[in-house]
A and B are shown apart, each in its own frame.
Chain A
Amino acid sequence: MTENRMGARQVELEVLRYNPETDQEPRYQRYSVPCKNEWCVLDALNYLKDNIDPTLAYRWSCHMQVCGSCGMMLNGEPKLACKAFVRDYPGVIRIEPLTHFPIERDLVTVADDFMAKLKRVKPYLIPAEKRSIEEGEYRQTPAQLTRYRKYAMCINCMLCYAACPEYGLTKSKFIGPAAITLAHRYNQDSRDGGRDERQEEIATNEGVWECSFVGACSDVCPKHVDPASALQQVKIASTVDWYLEHFMSWVKK
Chain B
Amino acid sequence: MPENFPQDLAWLILLLPLVAAIAITLFTRRFPRLSAQLSITAVVLAFLASFSLFLLMQEPLKIASHAEATALSWLSIGDLKVELGLRIDALSLLMLLIVTGVGGAIHIYSAGYMKDDPGYARYFACLSLFTFSMLGIVLANNLVMMFIFWELVGVSSYLLIGFWFAKPSAADAAKKAFLTNRLGDFGFILGIILVWATLGSVGFDELQMRLGKAPEAWAGVAALAGLLIFCGAMGKSAQFPLHVWLPDAMEGPTPVSALIHAATMVAAGVYMLCRMFFLFGTHSVWPASLGFLNGITALDLIAWIGGLTALMAALMAVQQNDIKRILAYSTLSQLGYMVMAVGLSGPDAAMYHLATHAFFKALLFLGAGSVIYACHHEQDIWRMGGLKKKMPVTYWTFLIGTLALCGVPPFSGFYSKDEILAVASRHSVLLFILATAVAVLTTFYMFRLFFVAFLGKERSENAAHAHESPKVMTWPLVVLAVPTIFAGFWGIQAFVGHALHPQEAVHSGNFLETLFAPFSHAPLAALMGLGAVLFGFSAASSLYANTEKDPLPNMLGGLSRAMRDRFYFDEIYSGLITITHEAASKLANWLDRWVIAGLGVRGVHGSTEILGRALRLVQSGNLQTYAFLFVAGLVLVLLYALN
Q: Bound pair: A and B?
A: no
